[in-house]
Amino acid sequence: MASLTGKVAIITGASRGIGRAIAQRLAQDGAAVAINYGQSAEAANELVRDIESKGGKALSVQADISQVADIRHLFQETINKLGQLDILVNNAGIARGGAIVEVTEEDFDSMFAVNVRGVLFALQEAARHMKNNGRIITISSSTSVYPSPGIAVYAASKAAPKLFTEILAQEIGERGITVNSVLPGPTSPGMFDNLPQERREEAAASSPIGRIGQAQDIADVVAFLASEEARWITGQHIVVNGGAKI
């Protein structure tokens, strides 16, 4: 895989879980990484130190992805301190379960604020500031392909960015910028860790490989999409779930 040396990446929600693994992998491949966090300053700064201890370059930037002003601050801070923008990974997201009859306004508003509005305005900033031949990758969810009871609002909030991906790929493709999404299945560490053990075992059994995903499984696919080798892939959705049907 080609090196990302000289590239600058923003990863939203990067202080832990899948985002952390993505930041580590892109830094390993040579990119300078801006690690966005909402509240976990200690975890984000620890990740910066970890990357720097291995010879990489990183900085942490606090921004609430549900707030457009914060998104703009994240991009401006990254460009001011790292000089440019080549890669955006929209990873920040929140999940709340519940049957449709149980969904509250707060549930709906909080998930759509981060998973839809946050992604949209991060895409907007990327389209405005990214260098030609850049890479945009949004972390969606396999729940948008395999919906099940109890996740209606979350799945819907992850389906919208798939359409954003397809449309933005057409809008900025002439600049050589590719726009794709990655759809993880159950993955650890991540939101799935909060579910009961029985549910996690069920998810592992649903994959022919017999396990749930690891954050590194997702990070490796993101790293490929961020690379030169993925230059002819755009407007696509890569399901990364070990063949599970949930």
Rounded alpha-carbon distances, angstroms, from residue 62 to 42, 97, 151:
11, 27, 29
DSSP three-state, residue 231: coil
Exactly one of 37, 154, 164, 192 is catalytic; which is it? 154
Which residue is associated with the tokens 């801070």?
77
Burial of 139 (0-12, 13-18, 19+ CB in 10 A): buried
How are beta strands 135-139 and 32-37 bridged, if at all?
A: unpaired
Distance, first Cα to last Cα, the chain:
31
DSSP three-state, residue 178: strand
The yes-or-no answer on residue 154 being catalytic is: yes
Residue 177's region, left for phi above 0, alpha for psi from -120 to 50, else beta, is beta
> Which positions are catalytic?
154
